[in-house]
Amino acid sequence: MLRRYALVLSVYLNTRGFAFILFEGHLSPFDWGIHETRGPRKNGTCLTRITTVFDRYAPDALVIQDTTEQGTMRARRICNLNTSVVKLANDRGIPVFAYSRDQVRRAFEGYGCPNKASLAELIAKHIPTLQQYVPPPRRPWMSEDRRMGLFDAAALALVFFQHLATG
């Protein structure tokens, strides 16, 4: 039997903080946000803000990036924070689904998305409310735009919905 999740929260952690997007269903975002955090207590501050998102929305499922050894290599701080977010979800009885960067790439390879920028454009094309958040093209000397985390979170959620549909 296909399990249904009324609210699916996808959280993407990055060096600046995190981005989240909450879906009511495939291609139906309900809320989203980008939270930047500075200072030596980044993980604690991020975890507090993520807890607030959990408390506000009580999601039925959490989707995150797989930062295990078999998943995606990330900085130790990000991996530790990811582990804390998983524990937070587990403590609340929320099932957690994790996908690696390679799984996301494979899920969208048929759409001709060679990089994150083209993936953001594809997502915005299918979810028009996100169109205003697509960052301008990145130049080689520029760091990644803070809004890209929103599309990373959305991509993780869309992989989740794809896996749910294919069972």
**55 or 146: which leads in pLDDT:** 55
pTM greater than 0.85 (yes/no): yes
CATH superfamily of 8-166: Ribonuclease H-like superfamily/Ribonuclease H (3.30.420.10)
Distance CA 111, CA 51 (A): 35
Predicted confidence band of residue 167 (pLDDT cuts 50, 70, 90): low
Q: How far is CA 74 from the centre of its chain?
A: 14
**pLDDT score recorded for residue 1:** 35
Domain boundaries, the chain: 8-166
- 2 pLDDT more than 70: no
**Lowest-confidence range among 94-98, 135-139, 146-150?**
135-139
Distance CA 110, CA 52 (A): 36
Taking residues 98-105, report their average pLDDT: 92
